[in-house]
Every structure is written in C-alpha cells, then in structure tokens.
Structure 1
Amino acid sequence: MRIGLLTQWYDPEPGPAALPATLARGLAARGHQVSVLTGFPNYPTGRLPQGWTMTRRRRRVEDGVSVTRVALYPSHDGSAARRMANYASFGASALVNGLSAVRGADAIWVNYSPITIAPPMLAARHALGIPLVCHVADLWPDTLTAGGFAPSHPGIGRVVDAGLHRWCAAMYAASAKVTYISPGVHDVLRDRGVPEHKLAYAPMWAEESTFSPADDATRRLGEQWREGLGIGPEDVLVLYAGALGHAQGLETLIDAAAAVDDPRLRVVVAGSGVAEEALRARAAKTAPAGRILVPGRVPQSQMPVLMAAADVCFVGLAATPLTRITMPSKTQATLAAGKAILVAADGDIRQVVADSGAGWAVGSGDVAGLTGAMRLVCNSGRGGLAARGHGARSHYERHFGLARALDRAEEHLEAARASVR
C-alpha cells in the first residue's frame, strides 16, 4: 500500500512523540510505501534541537520513509496562547505547505491529537479523496479541559466546548475508521455519535529500541548508575521518568514515599516540566534525606540505563474526568522493558495491572493506598520484582507489541482503502 501518516509529533522528539516514527518505519519494513507529513521537532523543550534549522518545508528520506516537515511555531511551555499557537501553526502550515506529501496515498493514518490537525486531514479526504484512519490517542476536547486550557468564564467555556465537539465530530465523520487506545474510550466515542462499524481498538506500542529487557552490559551500567546515586545493592528503586506536570499525580508518589518506614526504599523522579521545582521542594520538605531524588531531565539516550537500574516503575494520573479512560504511554514502556509497575490512577490502566500480574495499583491521589503498596514493593525485594517484570514483558508482547500494532494498522488502513472502492 501507499500509506500516508499525518502527525504533528515525530522522531527525534522523545517519548510518546517518537511512536509515530516507529509505526512508519515498521510499515515501511513490511514493504509499504510510507510518506509522513509532520512538523519540525520542538517537543519537549519548545526549541529546535541542536543542528536543526526551520524552513518552510523540508523533505528527506529517513530510514526508508519519505518525511516532509513543515514550519511551525515552536513552543511547549505553560502558556495556553503559545501552546495553541504551536498546534494551530502546524495545522495551517501542513495544509498550505505540505499536503502534496500525501497526495496519491491509498489511505492515511492520522494522529488526531492535537485536533488542529483537522485542516490538512479534511483537505486530504475531501480535496484529494484519500480515505482516513483517525487514531484517537488523546480524547478531545476533554484533553484541553484536563490540561487547564479551557476558558475560565462558564458561558464562554460552554460555547468553546460545543464548538470543539462539532470540530471533532467532523473529523470522525470524515474517517473510515476511528481507532482508540484505551477500552473506555469506545463508549465515549459511540455516545458522541461515531458509528459502531467505524470503531476499532488499537492500543499504543512502546519504542522498543529504548524500552526492552536490558542486556548484560546495560544492566551493569544501571548498577553503576545506582551506585553513583548512593543506592545500595539491596535497596529497592522506584523510578518515574517523564514529564513533571500536574497531570501525572507525582505529589501522591512523593507523599507516599515519604510515609514508608522501610529504609530500603529509594525513589527517583527524573524529568522536567512546570512542576519540577515544586516537586523537588516537596520531596526535600517531607521525605527522609536521600529517600527521593529529583535529578532533572535525563537524555533519552540514557533511558535504557535508567530502566535497567529501576526495580519498579511508577505511573500516575491526577484525578480528572478523563483519568478513567486514559492509558499513559508509560504503561506500555514499563511492560516492554520487563519491569514491575506501580500505579496510582483510576480506570483502564488498573485493569492492565490486574491482567498482567506485573504490579500494584491504587486510585488516583490515594496516598495511604500507595504507601501500603510501596511496603509490598519493598517486601518483594529485587528478586521478586524481577519475576513480576518477566510477566510484564510477556503481557506486553501478547497485547501491545509493535508486531501486533503493525498488524492492526495494516488491517485498519486496508479497511479504509476498501471503503472507497
């Protein structure tokens, strides 16, 4: 097939932003002709990486994939205006400068978040006649509200919310298939008018070149990293690595870790974001000295070492209406790395923990529950946690692995192509 991929986020942007590139390369490796329309990389710093220069349009073949990048306003800070300028500028630039990149495709896989991608998406469908698969990774407009970007005035908020719902409805209506990454989203989309025959479950995968069971050399580096932080061979290390924002529920992690009376417990909260300084101050104030370390952002290239060093990885979500149907990408990354998992969240992610047997899960914001779970983590010891990690990897391969994701993507893209024959 000739496959188009429309996404604001793409390699070399790290974390979840890198996953569309994994999909593109995987499809190309299976013999498909893949063309990507994306923006210049600026996540998560809001700045272009060293060596990159913004131009109106740039086309390169990257790992067997034709990648067209178009100019955008780079930003990823806490300003709602600048964040929306980032989103909207890509949508407009992709429409004006990049649409030719997907011309002639048999079907296009659309990473629908943010929904400002609608202009090039709808133009591809209605002007170029290309069928679409709309991949709902973040549910809109709910994501906007949960992120604190909704208007504060109730009347204006209702008008904006209604307009965004109509905007999303147009995107769903234009799509042959609407895929979703968390089981709970199915009912929400159905209730919002998406026909059942369009809906399909397509959970996210992990960047498996980064998140996989460590080899001997990486394990040795992980032990050295632990030693450098003063973490002993019998200590149990809980790792959180990622964005340090308000949505991740990291206050719950810090408060629970501070309350555990087992001296073996060590916690590393690595990353950067708007809550970084507040979390560092909270840890210093509430926890025993050396219990919680907040070292700042760690380069993506070091993630395999951090994962090898960890005994269990934390995934958290603050309590919002969206929490129950959210599946953080850190879930798949943890399972793929073969690590035990510790969760403070509600909804679908807790079912993954139960099904995999890979760890412990409590509700969002449940400090007492998480404190108890951390005691169980310590009592399991490093050996017991490693055994849970083996089960985590097996569950990932059966349900979330890239090979399974590529099978699903091919199936949905072929269904979209067939819908216009």
Structure 2
Amino acid sequence: MRILVLTHYYAPEYGAPQRRWSALVSRFIAAGHRVTVAAPVPHYPSGRPTVEQRRDHRVGGAEHGAHGETVLRTAYLPHLGDIGTRTADHLVAALDALCRLRRRFGRPEDRPEVIVATAPAIPTLLVGRLLSARWGVPLVVEMRDAWPDLVTQVGGAARVVPGAVVAAVRAAGDAGERPERREGAARVLSLGRLRSSVVALAKRVVHRQVTDWQTEAYAVVTTTSRFADVLRERGVPTVHVVRNGTELSRVRAQRDHPPGDHAELRCLYLGNMGRSQGLETVVRAAAVLAREGVSLRVRLVGHGVAAPALAALARELEAPVEVLPRIPHCEVGAQYAWADSVVVSLRSWAPFAWTVPSKLYEILATGRHVTALLEGEAADIVRDSGAGDVLPPEDVAALVELWRGLAADRSRTAVRASGRNWVSEHADDDELARTYLEILREVVAD
C-alpha cells in the first residue's frame, strides 16, 4: 500500500504528534508498505530551525527518513508562538505542500493509494481534501485532539479581555463631566465589541468547514472514544478510534524512593505550559501549602506561552515552585525518578472532556502516582488504571487537600504496576499500528 501522510509536525522534532507518527510509520514500513510524509522543515517548538536543522533539512528536499520513509520537506514561516503567527506558518506550509505534491505525483501510477491528513494544523486538512479530489484517492482525516472545538472554545476566548477595552472601561469610570473622554471610551468599547464579533464569526466558519471536511472524508480517526461519539452525533459517518500510545520498552518503570530519601513531597509537571493546562492552579495550591508549613517542592518543566507568567506568579506568592525550560527526552527519566507524584492538568473546558493528553500514557507506564486535574475520558483512564487521584480541573482547594494528605502519608504515592498494565492492554504502539493499517486497508478496498 502506498500511503501519503500530511502533517505539520514530524521527526526529528520531538512532541506528541511527532512521536505518534514515528511510531506508526516505523511499523507501516516494517509491514511492507511505502510511506511518503510531507512536513515542513523542522522548526518546533521555537518557531525557527536550529543551526543543525537548517543545515540538514532544506525546503523542497526529499529525505530518507529514519524508518525508510520518504520525507518531503515543505516551506515554513518563522513564528513567535502566538496563534496569529502560528496560523500563518500553518497556511504557508500547507500551500507549499499542495504545490510540491501535485508536481511530485504528477504521474497517476506514482500516486498514493490513500492520503492521511492529520490536525493540527487545520490547513493540512484542506490540502488533503484538495489532493484527494484531484487524484481520486481516498482521504483519511486524523483529529489528534478535539479539533476544531479547542480552537473555537468559547470559554477560553471569553477569558481574554483586550487591554484596550480594559483601558476604555477605566476611562469611562474616570471621565466624570468630560464628554470627550466618555465618547473616546465608547469608541474603544465599540471596537472591542466589533473585534469580538468578528472573532466569533471566524470561529463558527472554521468549525463548520472542518466538520464538512470530516463528513466528506472516507474515514475519520480520533484518539479518544468520547470525541468519536461527538463526531458521530454531528453526522460524520465513519469514525475510528486509534489512541495515542507509548512504547513500553522505552519507558522505564520507576521504583519507590528509599525511606528517608527526601523530606518534602515532590510533584512534577512535564510538558506544554499553555493556556489550556491551567497550571496557575498548581502554583496557587503550592503557595497555600507553603504558608501552612507543609514541606513541598514543585517542578514545572517544559515550554509554552504561560511559562513566564507562571514563574512570575510563583515569585509573587512565594510558592515552592520551579519553572524550568524544556529538556531533551533523554533527560525525562531523571525527572520521573525525582518525583513522588506527576501532575496532568487541563482546564475545565467542554472539549477537554473528550481529550486525553498524550503524555498521560507515558506517565502511566512509569508507575508513578498521578495527580490528575482532569475530567471526562482522561479522568476515567486514571480511575480505571488505579494510577492516582482525580480532582476537578482548576480546583485549588481540592489540590491543597490532596497534596496535604500525600505529604502526611507518603505511602499513598507508592509506585504501582496497574498503570503500566493498563498501557500494555490499551495503548501499546504495536497494536495501535495494526489497528490503523486495518482501517487504511478497508478504505483502499472500498
């Protein structure tokens, strides 16, 4: 089978989508299939390639991938990590991929038998749709998370108040008898309302368009059962579930710390530090416990737009929280070895009830206790695996109570085999790849 994978994120970058597709592609190749991957020159997460990446990867180059796949490198746009410049980067990469793939597969006999387009980024889905229609090749749409619902999440957007609007409100309050100041404030407020209306309209358009692409695809693959159910309710006819997974042989099962090894309770967060994670809850809980005299250390390790604000909040509250930069994956095991409990956190937004953070599977495989600020399917996995304690997202009081209890009775954080056993049964890469290949075979056979 000739398979074309369209993705914005691919090795040698390291992240959840990159790891997923490296695991799948290696097994597709081992099973005798031919795989071509179209992806930009590596530039995640900084938004720009490193010196080595710029030297080793060229726009338009056709590389021999680590597993025997062909990797066609497309253009990219350096970005700052914000949604605006990242979206522009996604569009540039998608348009370049469309042009290059049309040329590369100009002869019908060379074309793939199936196209897999994976989101994020959403423009990648458009490329898949256009190529599928032009070539008469079936398209499989992969939704790694609850897209487009996370992009169009009303709750998240409602939390952002433009600075100009805040200034206008203050100005209106101070204006008193000065009508020109009141008029200026009113104009700013009107502009703020107009901007909010335009953003809301754009979100509705994106949501409707992505749902149309999902409905028109030969099949949709999601990573969670709950989001699959949501898509079926929306009328998407063929939806399959292929979880994110982990390779157990590469994740070392941790051991309990020796008695007296350290006095404090050690809690670790490892991963993206963005708006979605709600990690200010962790910082505030740590500050409360420190004021109570509870011996506690918290590490937040990773990258993201919220990292500076989290570090500033920890300083302001005098919380025992370190905010550390992203580390190479080869150093992750040392962080798990340091910890007593590992935090997995998402905000209380509706789409997150249908989402499972990919890092959760790796954490389960370590055997470490999980502090889960989660709801929905991710919370169910922690409960079913017996891997830790589940709390309501963004609930500072509940987290304070849990960590107070863990600090008083460290036996509650003992390493357990149940999480690793759950991964072996439900999220092993070998079985996930077999399931995915069977889906692709069915699509091609139709």
Which of the five TM-score ranges fits, normalised by the shorter chain?
0.7 to 0.9
Aligned equivalent of 2:441, options 414, 417, 420: 414
Q: CA deviation at 1:402?
A: 0.6
TM-score (norm 2): 0.82
Residue number in structure 2 paired with 1:307: 336
Please say if residues 152 and 203 of structure 2, whose CA atoms lie closer than 8 Å, have aligned partners that are also in contact.
no
**Following TM superposition, by how much is the alpha carbon of 1:378 offset from its aligned partner in structure 2, in angstroms?**
2.9
- The structure-2 alpha-carbon separation of the partners of 1:5 and 1:392, relative to structure 1 and needing over 3 Å to count, comes to same
Q: Which residue of 1 aligns with 2:21?
A: 20
5 Å-filtered alignment, 1:118-129, equals 118-129=125-136
* Contact 1:4/1:36, CA 8 A, preserved across alignment: yes
Following TM superposition, by how much is the alpha carbon of 1:181 offset from its aligned partner in structure 2, in angstroms? Answer: 1.3
* Aligned: 1:83 with 2:89: no
Query: Runs of 5+ in structure 2 lacking a partner?
Result: 161-191
Tell me what 2:253 maps to. 213
Report the counterpart of residue 317 of structure 1 in structure 2: 346
Q: For residue 135 of structure 2, give the secondary structure of its aligned residue in structure 1.
A: coil
Letter in 1 for 2:133: H
Q: Take 1:100 and 1:182, find their aligned partners in 2: how far apart are those partners?
A: 36
AA partner of residue 86 (structure 1): D
For residues 321-332 of structure 1, the aligned pairs below 5 Å read: 321-332=350-361
- Higher helix proportion, which one? 2
Shift of 1:32: 2.1
Structure 2 Cα separation of the partners of residues 211 and 179 of structure 1: 26
Q: Distance in 2 between matches of 1:392 and 1:234?
A: 26
Q: Which has the larger radius of gyration?
A: 2
1:248 aligns with 2:277: yes
Mapped pair 1:270 → 2:301: yes
Q: Distance in 2 between matches of 1:12 and 1:311?
A: 31
2-structure distance, mates of 1:131, 1:73 = 29
1:207 to 1:350, Cα distance in 2 relative to 1, 3 A: same
Contact 2:367 2:415 in 1 (8 A): no
DSSP-derived class of the 1:331 partner = helix
- Offset at 1:93? 0.9
1:257–1:267 contact (8 Å) kept in structure 2:
yes
The verdict on how the C-alpha distance between 1:413 and 1:269 changes in structure 2, with shifts beyond 3 A counting, is same
Q: Which moved more, 1:156-165 or 1:322-331?
A: 156-165
Answering whether residue 187 of structure 2 is matched by residue 142 of structure 1, we say no
**Could you tell me how far apart the structure 2 residues matched to 1:208 and 1:12 are?**
20
Identify the range of structure 1 (204-213 vs 68-77) with the bigger mean alpha-carbon deviation.
204-213
CA distance in 2, matches of 1:136, 1:303: 27
Task: Quote the residue 1:405 is aligned against.
Answer: 432
Match of 1:39 in 2: 40
Superposed, 1:98-137 pairs within 5 Å as 98-99=101-102, 104-137=111-144
Of 181, 205, 217, the residue aligned with 2:223 is 181
- Provide the rounded CA distance (Å) in 2 between the counterparts of 1:292 and 1:3: 46
Contact 2:6 2:128 in 1 (8 A): yes
- Deviation digits for residues 376-403 of structure 1 (CA, Å, limit 9, x no counterpart): 433452x653432x21111111111111
Q: 2: CA distance between counterparts of 1:211 and 1:75?
A: 32
Cα displacement string for residues 348-405 of structure 1 (whole angstroms, at most 9, x for unaligned residues): 1110111000001111111111112223433452x653432x2111111111111121
Residues 266 and 298 in structure 2, CA contact (< 8 A), matched pair in contact too: yes
Do the aligned partners of 2:294 and 2:407 also contact (CA within 8 Å) in 1? Answer: no
State the SS of the aligned residue for 1:127.
helix
Secondary structure of 1:56's partner? coil
Taking a change above 3 Å as real, the CA distance of residues 410 and 401 of structure 1, as seen in their structure-2 partners, is: same
Q: 1:114 and 1:311 mapped to 2: Cα distance?
A: 35
1:59 to 50, 62, 68: 62
Judged with a 3 Å threshold, the aligned counterparts in structure 2 of structure 1 residues 232 and 303 are, in CA distance, closer, same or farther, namely same
Q: How many residues align?
A: 399
Give the superposition deviation at 1:126. 1.0
Distance in 2 (alpha carbons) for counterparts of 1:101 and 1:398: 40
Call closer, same or farther: CA 1:133–1:158 in 2, change over 3 Å.
Answer: same
Amino acid at match of 2:443: A
Secondary structure at the residue paired with 1:121?
Answer: helix
Q: How far 1:242 sits from its partner (Å)?
A: 1.5
| Residue 381 of structure 2 is aligned to residue 352 of structure 1 | yes
Amino acid at match of 2:25: A
Q: Which residue of 2 aligns with 1:164?
A: 206
1:69 CA drift (Å): 1.2
Give the TM-score, by structure 1 length.
0.86
Alignment-mate amino acid for residue 210 of structure 2: C
How far does residue 263 in structure 1 lie from its aligned partner after superposition? 4.1
Partner of 1:160: helix, strand, or coil? helix
Q: How far, CA to CA, are the matches of 1:350 and 1:143 in structure 2?
A: 18
2:73 counterpart of 1:69: yes
How far residue 154 of structure 1 moved from its aligned partner, in angstroms, is: 4.6
Secondary structure, counterpart of 2:52 in structure 1: coil
Contact 2:277 / 2:345 at 8 angstroms: preserved in 1? yes
Identical counterparts, % of pairs: 28
Please list the CA deviations of residues 56-79 of structure 1 after superposition, one character each: whole Å capped at 9, or x if unmatched. Answer: 31111122121111111132512x
1:262–1:378 Cα contact (<8 Å) kept = no
**Corresponding residue for residue 387 of structure 1:** 415
Contact persistence 2:60–2:73 (CA under 8 A): yes
Task: Show the 5 A alignment for 1:185-196.
Answer: 185-195=227-237
Q: Partners of 1:104 and 1:173 in 2: how far apart?
A: 24
